A and B are shown apart, each in its own frame.
Chain A
């Protein structure tokens, strides 16, 4: 009996491995399906105006969710999130704009859906994310020595420095010949338009790409929260010294959370830069924009992925909904922020997710707060 006992375990383990792999794929595939789903709404259910609003909501959700990894899960206070977003946006814009110029001789849109241009755009978003992640590493490093307020100031300084540097960049070069003949001083600092913003980017962002990157971000964030790293992040938020004393590498986890958040923000910046309508400007890196994302995460609840998504969609949709709202927008945001801190400091959902409120899921998921 005792010898026979392990034998049935092995095939079951193999099967569960396969099933685990399949199960692991199911969720990302759902994300792709979601992307196709929202894309199919474009032009049918949603008119051009609604589409732009939906894209704005998607990008805001990505930024709020990514900021929540630093501010909500790890409990560090970053006021420079818009800086990462802008850095990613500018990088991605440079890749598509100058890439298109070099490849096709024009910065106009190339190919239809899933044409060459769109793939270049998708790659550029990832490139923006990577550059932004490097910046996240550099900004996260001071968290070795600084904590709390001081770290907040450094991130704020990062965003402001970036804003000023972006204002001093060169004019955009309009043609391939211009690019070939450009002198060094026209290329350094990079030709991304200076104070007027980076104009003339091809408008590749559509609901498919927003849906895809958003669902991947959300899946990643939810899984991160349940993973070992995510749990050490939450431990650091709750008590840094206690988590250090039980063996959490505090510095590494903090820097990681910065890098992850910066990467996701950079990708969102790529989507932001290629939207229909406004272009990306140096102002987008400033801390006033960072505050908007902070408000979303605070409102949603610290560490709650779905909470910050709800808050992001409400706060992005409200101005579209209320006419003449723009003048009072910041007043309402500010009052919300204060009222929230006084009355419900844990945010709308606290650190729970929306499915924690459904009894069936709660039973299945067990813990995972």
Chain B
């Protein structure tokens, strides 16, 4: 029982990270109808920028009794800003000239941008090619202890870091939900997603909306990168397979939930995390990537547009 609850807790934490990243994939797909492969690499940059900023601050401040509590939010804000600017630049330089090109060309460009970000990040002048350890910006005391059964049985611990992940991810998703469904800007986003040309005729500046979408997605990605680095402090080099898999799983979450659908991305993130974590715990942890991709293929074969995606009919 304790194992079950512990796995559940891990799955929830990992799932909220997947969901945060999946939101970026799904928003871009909803508007531009292409898979932004570079999104996963923005997450990596978010994590590495968090590390760089945190390291620099700690060296400057050299606090005697651990890092101050305000440092975490500052680092998060820095990472979000840099990644937001980066997302804007990527869209402006790489994707905007291809607005009228076939989708396959844009997809290939996205792969190119992804490879470029990975390998530039890997240079010694940027982040280097060896793993580092993220300094602990938060203490990790146990907030909740649950024990099942008698004394001596294992107990479930929910630490502050995991709680921070839930709360931060939840707040950001709530903010996004509010923006998309409650503001004029969100209405414009939904209009552009529905039909960019008609939206433009109604006086919506489609290019500005697209830029805004990229920036929002990248900001969420940076937050996910920061939270990921908090949970797993051993940061691998930017082109490591672990990062690629993180991006891919988030992307798979978006597809499973129904790509282009904001609530679908949340659902997909948690489904993927549950399948991965429970499969790893109860069957074999060696095959955790296999569960994810197998689930993807099964869902795509049964419901090609994902769980919450609307089935479409091709019109000539």
Contact = CB atoms under 8 A, between A and B. Distances in A.
B34 interface: yes
Contact of B248 (A156, A327, A333, A334): A156
A334 B108 CA distance: 10
B116 interface: yes
B201 interface: no
Contacts of A157: 252, 293-294, 296-297
A149 B35 contact: yes
Contact of A341 (B108, B255, B289): B108
Contacts of B144: none
A153 interface: yes
Nearest to B101: A345
B287 A168 contact: yes
A148 interface: yes
A334 B297 contact: no
Contacts of B251: 153
B301 interface: yes
B105 A153 contact: no
B286 A168 contact: yes
A341 B95 CA distance: 10
Interface of B is mostly: helix
Given A145-B301, A149-B34, A331-B116, A161 B101 contact: no
B109 interface: yes
A160 B294 CA distance: 10
A341 B112 contact: yes
Interface stretch (A1-9, A40-48, A60-68, A286-294): A286-294
A338 B287 contact: no
A334 B112 contact: yes
Nearest to B251: A153
A157 B298 CA distance: 11
Contacts of B255: 150, 153
Given A160-B293, A161-B293, A241 B109 contact: no
Contacts of B287: 164-165, 168
Contact of B116 (A149, A161, A168, A335): A335
Contacts of B252: 153, 157
Contacts of A160: 245, 248, 289, 293
Contacts of A286: 241
Nearest to B103: A148
A153 B290 contact: no
Contacts of A241: 314, 316
B239 interface: yes
B119 A142 contact: no
Contacts of A153: 35, 251-252, 255, 296, 300
Nearest to A75: B104
A170 B304 CA distance: 35
The interface size bin for chain A is 35 or more
A286 B116 CA distance: 18
A341 B109 contact: yes
The interface size bin for chain B is 35 or more
A342 B109 contact: yes
B86 interface: no
A337 interface: yes
B282 to A, nearest CB: 17
A75 B105 CA distance: 11
A342 B97 contact: yes
B115 interface: yes
Interface in B193-249: 239, 241, 244-245, 248
B118 interface: yes
Most buried by B among A145, A334, A335: A334
B120 interface: yes
Contacts of A167: 286
B263 to A, nearest CB: 20
B280 to A, nearest CB: 12
A153 B106 CA distance: 15
A142 B303 CA distance: 12
B2 interface: no
Contacts of B289: 160-161, 164
A288 B290 CA distance: 17
A330 interface: yes
A330 B239 contact: yes
A256 to B, nearest CB: 20
Contacts of A90: none
Contacts of A156: 248
A146 B300 contact: yes
Interface in B89-134: 94, 97-98, 101-109, 111-116, 118-120, 123
B296 A341 contact: no
A187 interface: no
A102 interface: no
A154 B297 contact: yes
A333 B115 contact: yes
A156 B255 CA distance: 13
Given A152-B107, A341-B98, A342-B98, A331 B241 contact: no
Given A160-B289, A294-B108, A154 B115 contact: no
User: Which 7 pairs, one residue from A and one from B, show the smallest C-beta to C-beta distance?
Assistant: A337-B112, A334-B115, A334-B116, A157-B293, A338-B112, A330-B119, A341-B109
Interface of A: 75, 77, 142, 145-146, 148-150, 152-154, 156-158, 160-161, 164-165, 167-168, 241, 286-288, 291, 294, 298, 327, 330-331, 333-338, 341-342, 345
25 contacts: A75-B104, A142-B297, A146-B304, A149-B35, A149-B107, A150-B300, A153-B252, A157-B294, A160-B245, A160-B289, A164-B287, A168-B286, A288-B244, A294-B108, A330-B119, A331-B119, A331-B120, A331-B123, A334-B113, A334-B114, A334-B119, A335-B116, A337-B111, A338-B109, A342-B97
Given A330-B119, A337-B112, 20 more contacts: A145-B300, A145-B301, A148-B103, A150-B255, A153-B255, A154-B297, A156-B248, A157-B294, A157-B296, A160-B293, A161-B289, A161-B293, A164-B287, A168-B287, A241-B314, A288-B241, A330-B239, A333-B115, A338-B113, A342-B94
Interface of B: 34-35, 94, 97-98, 101-109, 111-116, 118-120, 123, 239, 241, 244-245, 248, 251-252, 255, 286-287, 289-290, 293-294, 296-297, 300-301, 304, 314, 316
